[in-house]
Amino acid sequence: MLGSVVLLWLFILLLFFFIRVRRPKNFPPGPRPLPILGNLLQLDPVNPLKDLERLKRRYGNVFSLYIGSRPAVVLNGLEVVREALVTHAAEYAGRPTHLLISHVFEGKGIVTANYGSSWRDHRRFALTTLRNFGLGKHSMEEHILEEVSHICTELESSAGGSMDPQHLFHLAASNIICSLIFRERFEYDDPVILTLIQRLEELTKEALTPWAMLYEIIPVLRPLPLPFRNIFHKFNQLKEHIKKVVTKHKSSRVAGEPRDLLDCYLDQIDKTADGGSTFNHTQMVSLLLDLFLAGTDKTSNTLRSAMLHLMTNQHVQDRCHREIADVLEGRADASFEDRHAMPYVQATIHEAQRMSDTVPLSVFHTTCSDTQLYSYQLPHGTMVIPNLSSVLHEEGQWKFPENFLNEVGEFVKPEAFLPFSAGPRVCLGEGLARMELFLVLVTLLRRFRFVWPEDGVVPDFSFIFGGIQSQKPCRLGVRLRSSERG
């Protein structure tokens, strides 16, 4: 037994010393990879963004890395990202099929599905159905404002003290998307929604961990009971929960009279029951989870990041409050249309999105054919990583502190504002997120002042890296505006 272990290690050492990984012809430059591991040892597993910035400075805005034995091209800066994802959109619209997250979702739904007829059918269905059920309309505003009232109730109970806002914003964002998907709202202490959110958070954080990388670069490890198996277990639990919701929904459903997106999907299955359709129950579960994920994590993490910056910049918060008060005057609620009269609030919200940098590396793409990017050749199937963080912080694109206001105080949105990515694979939840962020923050800033809590530690603006990046936990000091003097 000992002799076999020694021979195995000798074999691995021989691989490292004698096997050289060769880049394809005219491929973007990058650091020399090791056999088996590629360039993983040159990236910080906790947060690789600084290492990517270092490599960008050395090799330029287009460089390559090896993730195991597979080459990947990293795109940096606005010009490069738009050239690939917008100008040559169809050539870069694929998704990797070998990643752990691809295997977890089985390539179904929308987010991780490869470019093709099923993806097109489901994206078109989701966008059309969400619009039909109020996305971008006054009816959707009502759903959001109803949920904001519950947020306010929770905050009022902490007025004069402090609270942890992490789960509050996740719960609120989850309920808003649930109202669209299956017309259901959960109380904030409901164990079902709390468990669902916790597992989704864990999934997004574990998608880019070292264990996920080992799953991808050493396939022989996949059957072993290693930590990455937990990801599959958690995802299966999520699917089982969604299946229970579907079963419950079917019991009160009337075919042809849809109440929500789930009913619409079931109607679509009935219409195409004769075969040849991409719509089926397995795809439906993946789509529902996609929508839940797209409508929850990014919005809630942006709200938490916004609160951190507002607590530590009281002058920004006060100016927002004055603008909100001037525009709304005696009205009970804000409307999404009010954003046109609130340039400073709009600028503050967009700056919070830029700084929160929730999806720094987007969702990885692949090339759908042999293609060219500037002078480089990218073979069909090359993995492409759009470094959105490099765009949101690109020197020359931003004029801090007024990144979203022009010289006369009007709101402007620079081209480099790409928190939702760009091209045909732009985030499905963008429209909902924009409406939520505005209505939530306007309502909260109108009623409350947020302060750094007396029991709070020194502000920490660093992030917890993952598939969806999040601000480190911090407490939120809450004060009622009506209780302030003057």
Domain assignment of residue 2, yes or no: no
pLDDT at 205: 72
Domain assignment of residue 193, yes or no: yes
Domain assignment of residue 91, yes or no: no
**Whole-angstrom distance, CA of residue 26 vs CA of residue 312:** 48
Cα 79 from chain centre:
22
Domain assignment of residue 219, yes or no: yes
Domain assignment of residue 137, yes or no: yes
**Whole-angstrom distance, CA of residue 67 vs CA of residue 60:** 19
Q: How large is the C-alpha radius of gyration of the chain? A: 24
pLDDT at 18: 46
pLDDT at 485: 40
Domain assignment of residue 224, yes or no: yes
Cα 130 to Cα 78, 116, 142, 430: the distances in Å are 30, 21, 15, 12
Paired residues of 70 in beta bridges: 67
Domain assignment of residue 325, yes or no: yes
How many structural domains are present in the chain?
Answer: 1
Whether the CA torsion 447, 449, 450, 454 is positive or negative: it is negative
**Whole-angstrom distance, CA of residue 40 vs CA of residue 48:** 10
Amino acid type, 238: L
Contact of 268 with 190, CB cutoff 8 Å: no
State if pTM tops 0.95. no
Using the CB atoms, write b or e for 263-279: b if 16+ within 10 Å: bbbbbbeeeeeeeeebb
**Whole-angstrom distance, CA of residue 5 vs CA of residue 12:** 11
Domain assignment of residue 266, yes or no: yes
Query: What number of CA atoms fall less than 13 Å from residue 53's CA on the CB side?
Result: 14
Residue 414 belongs to domain spanning:
107-483
Query: For each successive 10 residues of the chain (486 residues), what is the average pLDDT?
Result: 51 53 87 87 88 96 92 97 96 92 89 92 92 78 93 94 90 90 87 82 73 82 85 85 86 89 91 81 90 86 94 95 94 94 97 94 95 95 96 90 90 95 92 94 97 80 83 90 58
- CATH code of 242's domain: 1.10.630.10
HEC profile for 118-166?
HHHHHHHHHHHHHHHCCCCCHHHHHHHHHHHHHHHHHHHCCCCCEECCH
pLDDT at 208: 67
